[in-house]
Homo-oligomer: A and B are copies of this chain.
Amino acid sequence: MATDGAAETVEISGHIIDEGVLSSMLDDIRGYGGDYAIVDMRVGKDSGDTSTARIEVRADTEQDLQRLLMRLQTRGANMLDPGDLQLMVADADGVFPDSFYSTTNLATQVWLAGRWVGVEQPEMDCGLEVFGPPDAPRVRTVAMSDVRAGMQIVCSASGVRVIPLPRADINDEFGFMDSEVSSEKPQAVLIRRVADGMRAAKAAGKKVLWVGGPAIVHTGAAPALVAMVDAGFVDVLFAGNALATHDIESSLYGTSLGVDLGQARGVKHGHEHHIRAINQIRRCGSIVAAVDQGVLTGGVMHALVRCGGRYVLVGSVRDDGPLPEVYTDVLAGQRAMRAELYSDSAPGETSIGYCLMVATMLHSVATGNILPASIPLVCVDINPATVTKLADRGSSQAQGIVTDVGLFLHQLAAELTSYSIR
């Protein structure tokens, strides 16, 4: 335990006791090898009241302290004296200065030109770039691979503050899962809440973002998803080559991975169908062209093209083909996903109002990486590990539903549209 070295006092307010925030902070301090003293604490008397704590945080070295302070900011604890912003110029492409401020996905502000300026495009595990005219400076997240020599990069936690999610966002509106992920839950109730969340986003003029894996097709839920596309509840889809391929295979051949979806029985490993489906779309030139040429006449991708929905397909090393629109460069794919989050909106603000992730760990984590924490996020998978991993990677706002993907989507479509299973 450190008893001398560097020290700083932080303050945190809110429902810090009843929601375990304070407890998590003290865990962090110990976990980083630091120490603390509670300098002051004002406890809210009644169950609706907030509390405030001031905590002196100590670490062995100034560097350790700065890292710990950045960490505590993710809990909403900011320095009592925020200090001055420290900027360093990146000296090489693709590399941050060593002491760069590592971002969270929470709303963040920096002290610039005498006022708190909000960070545009909040995203975790990035740096902060200050840009724009000296008299009206702006600040935005920048991914490591997008750093260019000469950029002004924020270093240390000094002059930075984080605004934690307000309680309502977490607990009242979408807070149906608390900390527990379990298949032994009344899922029908949860589906209704997802439907409510989507309707609320649309009513607020926001977009609904879907992230999906191929099990949507394998479980026979593509018609349910098509119904939701038609009804306007799928503004954007992030997926990989597999979802689109099996959707298209299913439209062209009536099978998915060789399984006859109308019969629920299949030819084991009989799925060279998918490679022929990809070849056919490549011959057309693109999915859009395949729709235009009348080759592709059904399924999820067809519905998206027909209804003006947007999609970003990003490839992976296990892909066959891939389909024409698939980004084979994963950084280009990430950039395309970010662009989609921030289109049709004010600079630095996202147009997404709700995000539903279904049956894909890879694309769910990828989307969680770039999504601001303020966006309601629900992850649906039959495997509890997918949900847990998403939260472990930092998307702590994610709500998980462990259930059958096919029945979930049938039921959700029935809630949102006139769709019925038969």
Contacts and interface: CB of A to CB of B under 8 A. Distances in A.
A308 interface: no
Contact of A278 (B144, B276, B405): B144
A93 to B, nearest CB: 9
A176 interface: yes
A410 interface: yes
A365 B257 CA distance: 15
A23 B20 CA distance: 5
Contacts of A337: 317
A215 to B, nearest CB: 5
Interface in A365-422: 365-366, 369, 382-385, 392, 394, 396, 402-408, 410-411, 421
Contact of A189 (B70, B102, B264, B272): B264
A184 B333 contact: no
Interface in A157-192: 175-178, 180, 183-190
Interface string A201-233: 000000000000001001111000000000000
A45 B40 CA distance: 8
Interface residues of A, number: 120
Nearest to A100: B279
A115 interface: no
A219 B47 CA distance: 30
Most interface-central of A262, A268, A369 (chain B CB within 10 A):
A268
Interface stretch (A31-39, A130-138, A350-358): A31-39
A266 B189 CA distance: 13
Which of A178, A185, A319 has most B Cβ within 10 Å? Answer: A185
A310 interface: no
